[in-house]
Amino acid sequence: MTATHERTPVEMGMPVRLVTLSVDGQEVSVPEGSTLLDACTAVGEDIPTLCYGDTLTPKNACRVCMVEVEGSRVLVPSCSRKVTENVVVRTDTERVRHSRRLVLELLGSSVDLSTTPHVEEWMAEYAADPGRFGPPAPEDLHRDVHEPGEHHAGDGSVAETMEQPDKVDNDLYVRDYSKCILCYKCVDACGTQWQNTFAIQVAGRGFESQISTEFNVELPESACVYCGNCIEVCPTGALSFKSEYDMRAEGTWNEDEQTQTTTLCTFCGVGCNLTLHVQDNTIVKVSSPHDHSVGHGNLCIKGRFGFQHVQNR
């Protein structure tokens, strides 16, 4: 019997059709199924996003990535709208810029965006003035109480906000909903899209909406399994490691001095990747690479929070 050359088949995937469209006058071709955001990124447009998550289904909630599409009555969210042949997209019209500016002003006037990446640059780029709606209302101690019936209108002298006490009810992570833009990413990561734990949901509606556990119980009493996948996707820092929260309070949190090392989680054989954030030779936070084929940015309580033993010296 003669030796045959064994050849391994190479996985090519299904052939993908290219769709050609126009972005700000430039013609661009992207694979079918791409979003307008993908096409805009391909031509080098930098579109701001907040509720968009690379591992989640778009929720279309923040409305900061809106673009103008020829023939459309309203602006469209670029993070979710799929490309179609010959569609004409504009990202820098007066209408788009007005919409971006106002969304930033509405968010900036109602939410603490101090730990949201890029927001300062965007505020400057779109000349947003969140202070124009008046002085912010004081902290609300009853945001988790949802009364039936009509809301109580004030006299317009202060601008209502999300300002409320931080929820520090366990040793692992903190929920500071004064920083919450209600993007739904934590809810989706906790629910059907990844964890299937369903510990949190949106309670109430309209401006009274709040992310909440069932009956607003504290986290240890809730269904939470402390996987921290909600922290991984939170775009504003409303959810943060207790270690980060404490260091920020002390004024010692310094991202410029931190190193990030991606390694393999050793707790079991699944093969999740961990990225250890280290400051002063101490692990201060753990994240997970979103493009990793095993976990897609998700971990369990052991990988996310089980790092203290490393530091017992």
Partner 1 sequence: MILALDDTVDLTRILLRIAGFFRDESCGQCVPCRVGTVRQEEALLRIAHNGRSPGSNAGDILLLRDVGQVMKDASICGLGQAAWNAVESAIDRLGALEETR
Q: Give residues in contact with partner 1 (CB under 8 A).
A: 59-64, 66, 74-75, 95, 98-99, 102-103, 106-107, 109-110, 132-134, 150-151, 153-157, 159-160, 181-182, 184, 202, 204-209
- Closer residue to partner 1 (CB): 7 or 205: 205
Min CB(207)–partner 1 separation in Å: 5
- Closer residue to partner 1 (CB): 69 or 231: 69
Q: What does DSSP assign to residue 311?
A: G
Q: What does DSSP assign to residue 201?
A: E
Give the three-class secondary structure for 81.
coil
Question: Measured on CA atoms in the order 212, 210, 230, 171, is the torsion positive or negative?
Answer: negative
Min CB(205)–partner 1 separation in Å: 5
- Closer residue to partner 1 (CB): 13 or 138: 138
Report which of 159, 149, 21 is spatially closest to residue 81, judged by C-alpha positions: 21
- Main-chain phi, psi angles of 20, to 5 degrees: -105, 130
- Closer residue to partner 1 (CB): 28 or 181: 181
Report which of 186, 191, 161, 183 is spatially closest to residue 173, judged by C-alpha positions: 186
- Closer residue to partner 1 (CB): 61 or 283: 61
Q: Show the tokens assigned to 223.
A: 């269904």
Min CB(98)–partner 1 separation in Å: 6
Q: Show the tokens assigned to 58.
A: 């778009």
Min CB(25)–partner 1 separation in Å: 21
Min CB(95)–partner 1 separation in Å: 6
Strand partners, 26: 23
Furthest CA-CA distance within the chain: 93
Report which of 127, 93, 80, 91 is spatially closest to residue 108, judged by C-alpha positions: 127
Which residues have a Cβ under 8 Å from the Cβ of 147 and sit 6 or more positions away? none
Determine contact, residues 231/172, Cβ cutoff 8 Å: no
Min CB(204)–partner 1 separation in Å: 7
Q: Which amino acid is at 159?
A: A
- Closer residue to partner 1 (CB): 137 or 301: 137
Run of H or E residues at 85: none
Min CB(80)–partner 1 separation in Å: 11
- Closer residue to partner 1 (CB): 181 or 219: 181
Q: What is the CA radius of gyration of the chain?
A: 22
